[in-house]
A = this chain, B = another copy of it.
Amino acid sequence: MPRNRRPQDREEKREEILAAAQRLFIDNGYESASMGQIAKNAGVTVNTIYWYFRDKDDLLIAVLDRLLAEALAQYATIADRPLNDRLLWAVDQLERLHGLVNTVHTRAPASPAVHAWHTGFHELADTLIADDLRKAGAAEADLPAMTAIGTFVIEGLLTHRRGDAGKRAVIDILVHKLTTVPTRT
C-alpha cells in the first residue's frame, strides 16, 4: 500500500502519526498508549513509526514540542493581561496535559533527550515568570527562588487537580504574597 516518496507526503505522514500519538498520550497516558495502538490509530504498522521516529521517547518529545508551540502561540494573544489571569489561563490550558507532566519527570532520568527538553522548558518558564516578578518590583536577589516557587505551584496545580475556585484561590494568594512587600506584624 505504499504511495510515493515525495517530500510533502513525508511531513503529512509524520503529522498523522504525531496526531494519533498525541491523542493517545493525552487520553490514555504515555505508558498505556502502546506503539501498536498508536500505529493502528495512525493507519500504519508499528515499524513505520520507527521509520519516522527513533523510539517512543522521540515520539513523546515531538508531541511535547507540538503542544508547546500551540500553547505559546495562544499565549501571545493574552500577554497583556494581569499576572493572575495569565497564570490561571496557563493552568487551564495545560490541565488536560497533567499526565504528560508526570511522564516528562518520569522519563527524564532515563532519556537524555527528554531530560534536555525538560530543562529547556523550565528555562523558558522561568524567564517568563522572572520577567513578571521583576516588573512587579521583586528584589533581584530573590528572583530565582521566587520563580521556582511560581513554577512549582503551577506544576502542583497541574498534577493535583482541583476545582476552578480552588485554582483561583491558590493563584491569587500566590501572586498576592509574591508581589507585595511584607512587613512583620
Q: How many copies does the complex hold?
A: 2
Interface size on A, residues (CB 8 A): 42
A178 vs B183: C-alpha distance when bound (angstroms) = 12
- Compute how far the CA of A6 lies from the CA of B27 in the bound complex, rounded to whole angstroms: 48
Q: Say yes or no: is A116 at the interface (Cβ < 8 Å to chain B).
A: no
Per a CB cutoff under 8 Å, which of B106, B162, B169, B184 touches A31? B106
**Is there an interface contact between A173 and B146, defined as CB atoms closer than 8 Å?**
yes
Pairwise interchain contact A174-B149, C-beta atoms closer than 8 A:
yes
- For A174, the chain B residues whose CB sits under 8 A away are 145, 149
The answer to whether A166 and B144 touch (CB under 8 A), given A110-B32, A149-B173, is yes
Residue-by-residue, is A147-166 near B (CB-CB < 8 Å gives 1, otherwise 0)? 01101110111011010001
* Distance to closest chain B CB from A137 (angstroms): 7
Nearest residue (CB) in B for A142 is: B173
| Contact, CB under 8 Å: B177 / A185 | no
8 Å CB contact of A152 from B145, B160, B182, B184: B160
Given A182-B183, A183-B181, A183-B183, answer yes or no on A149-B176 (Cβ-Cβ < 8 Å).
no
User: CB within 8 Å of B: which residues of A?
Assistant: 29, 31-32, 99, 102-103, 105-106, 109-110, 122, 137, 142, 144-146, 148-149, 151-153, 155-157, 159-160, 162, 166, 169-170, 172-174, 176-178, 180-185
